[in-house]
Amino acid sequence: MAFGTSAPELAVSVRSAWGGQVDIALGNVVGSNIFNVLFILGVSAIIAPLVVAPQLIRQEVPVMLGASGLLFALALDGGISRLDGALLFGLLVTYTVFLIRQSRKETQSTKDEYAAEFAAPQGLAWDRHWSVQLLLIAGGLGLLVLGAHWLVDAAVSFARALGLSEIVIGLTIVAAGTSLPEVATSVIATLRGEREIAVGNVIGSNTFNILGVLGVSSLVAPAALPVAPAMLSFDLLVMIAVAFACLPIFFSGHSIERWEGALFLFYYAAYTAFLLLAAQQHDALAAYGAAMTTMVLPLTAITLAVITLRHWRVRRR
């Protein structure tokens, strides 16, 4: 499911890398990962407190953290080369094979439950034949590629009209637009009471964005994807910090409460505001940054630390 909902990110980043809009390609991946955690989990948790499956904490979250750290390490030399892309894509293939083998070890009851939950709805007689299904897939892929082309061209024009860099547009508008399938999937899953799916979809999508989307984009790009200094010194660090911020929240009762969802949304709004202020070199940028680093972030860190410590003490009793 996570791989499927990340198809727009793949189409847009590949189109951007192939067409030379490399800042949009990288900004889309980093921005989508930030958007997925802060906005999607935030909105979903406000609708209903989310459940975090133990397997997510033991396996999927560490994989996401490892992929995020690897991306930062690869970007330290100022670019994501084809060799880096091959490494990322190779890790995705390895991880996918591992998941397939792991699924074969599941009990029959678990498989039956999954099949009943995610079984495709019975279609009409005309769309059951394999040839029709093949045509539908081809049509969907064609529309996806066409939509990616339109989105990238519109984003470039929008950036030029507003005097914003392609990085900022990629981190915000493009990232939010390509993450709409994740928004729909997670919100619908939450409304249906399938709250574990909402979290798992986000974590899986973030992993795929780094290993799959960025890996393929680096392979098809005419040259190495350059990493802007601002991206390396700020946005990538925000992406990693957001990923690590999941740990104390996930561990505290294996759930994401409504107030934690509201906190996520607040931070996404704050991050977006900082990007816009920085892009315009606004006079309020220095005061805004100082307030965030000296007051808001430390208070949040202390709050999360206290919650984690309390949960750890409760579990020891």
* Pairing, β 255-256 against β 50-51: antiparallel
Distance CA 195, CA 184 (A): 13
Distance CA 152, CA 145 (A): 11
Q: Which residues contact 126 (CB under 8 A, 6 or more apart)?
A: 132
Q: What is the pTM of this model?
A: 0.85
Q: Answer for the pair 216, 88: CB distance below 8 angstroms, yes or no.
A: no
Residue 52's pLDDT is what?
83
Residue 125's pLDDT is what?
54
Sort residue 163 into left (φ over 0), alpha (ψ -120 to 50) or beta: left
Q: Which residues contact 58 (CB under 8 A, 6 or more apart)?
A: none
Residue 39's pLDDT is what?
94
Residue 17's pLDDT is what?
86
Distance CA 90, CA 184 (A): 29
Q: Mind listing the domains of the chain with CATH numbers?
A: 2-118+136-316 (1.20.1420.30)
| Cα distances (angstroms) measured from residue 206 to each of 23, 115, 203, 239, 280 | 18, 24, 5, 10, 29
Distance CA 131, CA 139 (A): 12
* Four-residue CA torsion sign, 247, 65, 198, 146: positive
* Four-residue CA torsion sign, 119, 125, 129, 134: negative
Residue corresponding to tokens 């079984």: 119
Q: Burial level of 288, CB count in 10 A (0-12/13-18/19+)?
A: middle
Residue 113's pLDDT is what?
52
Residue corresponding to tokens 């190779």: 90
Q: Burial level of 157, CB count in 10 A (0-12/13-18/19+)?
A: exposed
Residue 118's pLDDT is what?
47
User: Any alpha helices (H) in 179-235, and if so which ranges?
Assistant: 180-191, 195-208, 214-220, 229-230
DSSP 126: G
Residue 219's pLDDT is what?
93
**Cα-trace Rg, the chain:** 20
Mean pLDDT (10-residue bins), the chain, 317 residues: 71 84 89 93 92 83 94 94 96 92 68 51 56 70 67 73 82 85 86 84 92 93 90 91 81 78 91 88 85 77 70 64
